[in-house]
Amino acid sequence: MTAGPRPLETTAGLATGTPAPLAHGVGSASGLPLPLDLVLQAGAATVVLSFLIAALWWREPRLTDPGTPPPVTGHWLRYPVLILTLYLTGNALIGPRGPQNPAAHALFVWLWVGLVPFSLLFGPVWRAVNPLRTLFTLLGLPRRGLRPLPPGRSTAWPAAAFLLVFVWFELVAPHGGDPVAVGLFFLGYGLSQLVLATLRGEEWFARGDCFEVYSGLAARLRPISRLATDAVPGIAAFLAVWWGSTVYDSASASPVWARFVRGAGLSLLVDTAGLVVICALVLLAVRATAGKLDVTMSLVPIAVGYTLAHYLSLLIVEAPRGVLLLAGSDAPWNVTPAPEVIAGAQIALILAGHVIGVIVAHDRALALTRSLTPQRPVLAVLADELPMVLFMIGCTWAGLFLLFVR
């Protein structure tokens, strides 16, 4: 979900010389193609219609697990990516501390935002170019681990925990955009991952590196049949942190939250609690509405749609600016997307994510029913799906509302 009507900003502080996290501002309700109430009604109608169409014409499961994903191309980039990562870390720690340092752009724009469209286009690219995997191999660390993970015990809980640490650093930590803070985050995250991989083996990265899990989940939309798989333990928590952090980002930008934090005092503690509570509530809501159905993977397209909508203007404005900073160029990058275009694209991304999510959830429900109770009527299956559909309608409303109203 995305922030409200902030003006389209470049960076929060980087443009003025004061290190601070990159801004996530996106636009305002003035860019909406229709009045807000009609946009909300259209969003709910889109979800309902997609469910009804799937119910009428999608009577048998059609999405089948394609099996082993095709090999990821781009392994030849792993050494350039490692060199770039080492340079950015060193430059963040000992380089300029002003707005000319590209460290924050590298972490918050290229990696966190840019990884989603790259994974959609090229597959789980971070597994192929992950500089931590490359460094692990070059250092000759134990590939099987001192205490290797038991076979068949795949879980994403460690990645969910590391993702929570990252979003806390991005959204809550003071001076999170300071190049030194970014450099220390690079170091701390990298060292902890390498130590755990030494203990557990190289496959730790597939379970514990939040960026590798993040990229792998986004890549499952290519094709969507890859979402027709059982979710490993911890994926729901990972998606709750991924999704909940954007909800918190939107809510924390509102004047209501600012007044609450000022009144409560201890802003760091209150903000941290707010982030954790929102992520926990998202996880509880997902589990409560899913019921007996394992529809966790149907939330992936929704999370991807929210992420792209939330950071769309940031990606357009700040990704090229970061490249110019890395090259040491003083050339200006003053591209300002038209508010109408941004608003339309954001609405389309959110609705597309929900439509795909409804289809995947419906197909998953049919598949589970056919495997457990083959004679169960289709209407009974649809009744099981209804709470999830209502939950998705609520999320659509909330996403569109937070998109343009604070």
pLDDT digits (tens, 9 = 90+) for 37-88: 788 888 888 888 998 888 888 888 888 766 666 666 677 899 999 999 999 9
What pTM was computed for the model?
Answer: 0.89
Instruction: Report the mean per-residue pLDDT for the chain.
Output: 83
**Which tens digits make up the pLDDT trace of 200-246?**
889 899 999 999 999 999 999 988 888 888 788 899 999 999 999 98
Share of the chain above pLDDT 90, in %: 42
SS (H, E, C) the chain: CCCCCCCCCCCCCCCCCCCCCCCCCCCCHHHCCCCHHHHHHHHHHHHHHHHHHHHHHCCCCCCCCCCCCCCCCCHHHHHHHHHHHHHHHHHHHHCCCCCCCCHHHHHHHHHCCCHHHHHHHHCCHHHHHCHHHHHHHHCCCCCCCCCCCCCCCCCCHHHHHHHHHHHHHHHCCCCCCCHHHHHHHHHHHHHHHHHHHHHHCCCHHHHHCHHHHHHHHHHCCCCHHHHCCCCCCCHHHHHHHHHHHHHHHHHHCCHHHHHHHHHHCCHHHHHHHHHHHHHHHHHHHHHHHHCCCCCHHHHHHHHHHHHHHHCHHHHHHHHHHHHHHHCCCCCCCCCCCCHHHHHHHHHHHHHHHHHHHHHHHHHHHHHHHHHHCCCCCHHHHHHHHHHHHHHHHHHHHHHHHHHHCC
**Which tens digits make up the pLDDT trace of 347-396?**
899 899 999 999 998 888 888 887 777 777 877 888 888 888 888 888 88
Domain boundary assignment for the chain: 29-404
pLDDT score for 71: 63
